[in-house]
Amino acid sequence: MNVYRILPGTPVDLGTHDPRDNKNYPDGKDSGKARLKELNRELESLQELLYAEGKHKILVVLQGMDTSGKDGAIRHVFEGVNPQGVKVASFGVPTREELDHDYLWRIHQRAPKTGEITIFNRSHYEDVLVVKVRGLAPLDRVERRYAQIADFERMLAQEGTTIVKFFLHISKEEQKARLQERLDRPEKNWKFNPGDLVERGFWDDYIAAYETALTRTSTENAPWYVVPADRKWYRNLVLANVLIETLKGLDMQYPPAETDLSEIVIE
């Protein structure tokens, strides 16, 4: 799935990334869903190994436009994985206390512990996305944050955190369809937020902000992946494959028993 990885220094034009792409799994939705079940089991085993070995920590960053499927990706990709070793951190509007600190203060507190996978559902990137688009901070302050974020992630990586970042890339047409579904289906009405329509009005500004963030902060230690997200099943396959490849790359081993077990007899 490295085809979706943004190499360091590569200018990102999201117009050249097809949100409906499924070239790495052309067999279709039903086959894709069956394959995801297999990947779920593999990810479950790798997460158990990560927890048992207790040497590594994984940070997964999920970003995307409203309705891009961050919640759904977490639910489907991590289905069956032991929740003891997987944490989800969601970042909304900062509290008064959080605003009294630097913008990375609340982020650092939620970084993963050793043996743990932590998923950021939105993240520190909101401070170069919504903050930039809605003019919530001076542009010169926002401009400094790209380097600060890259330095922060480099520090985490040097201290033993493996970082993978996913931008869930949906089309404006697909977002319209998903918002309409929330209006049309009573069981999904609770998901509809009129504020999403306000943010939709800034679509082009958000695309430009994402292109800048992806270009400036995809590094060797913390790469971005632009994930086609119009097809939910394919989005999930891409995430699962990247995570499995990442975990396998750690060359983890189960730790040996602390004592000789060969003489133990259980009556």
Which domains does the chain possess? 2-248 (3.40.50.300)
pLDDT of residue 252: 95
pLDDT bin (cut points 50, 70, 90) of residue 83 is confident
pLDDT of residue 259: 75
In single-letter form, the type of residue at position 230 comes to D
Q: For residue 210, give the 3-state DSSP assignment.
A: helix
pLDDT bin (cut points 50, 70, 90) of residue 2 is confident
What's the rounded Cα separation, in Å, for the pair 137 and 117? Answer: 31
Strands 57-64 and 86-90, sheet pairing: unpaired
User: Is residue 198 scored above 70 in pLDDT?
Assistant: yes
* Torsion angles phi and psi, residue 103, rounded to 5: -65, -20
pLDDT of residue 267: 78
DSSP symbols for 150-171: HHHHHHHHHTTEEEEEEEEE--
128-182 pLDDT, tens per residue?
999 999 999 999 999 999 999 999 999 999 999 999 999 999 999 999 999 999 9
Residues 6+ apart with CB under 8 A from 66: 175, 179, 196, 199, 200
Q: Which helix (H) or strand (E) holds 47?
A: helix 29-53
* % of the chain beyond a pLDDT of 70: 99
Mean pLDDT of 247-262: 85
25-77 pLDDT, tens per residue?
888 899 999 999 999 999 999 999 999 999 999 999 999 999 999 999 999 99
Burial of 227 (0-12, 13-18, 19+ CB in 10 A): buried
pLDDT bin (cut points 50, 70, 90) of residue 1 is low
pTM over 0.85: yes
**What are the structure tokens assigned to 168, written together?**
């869930």
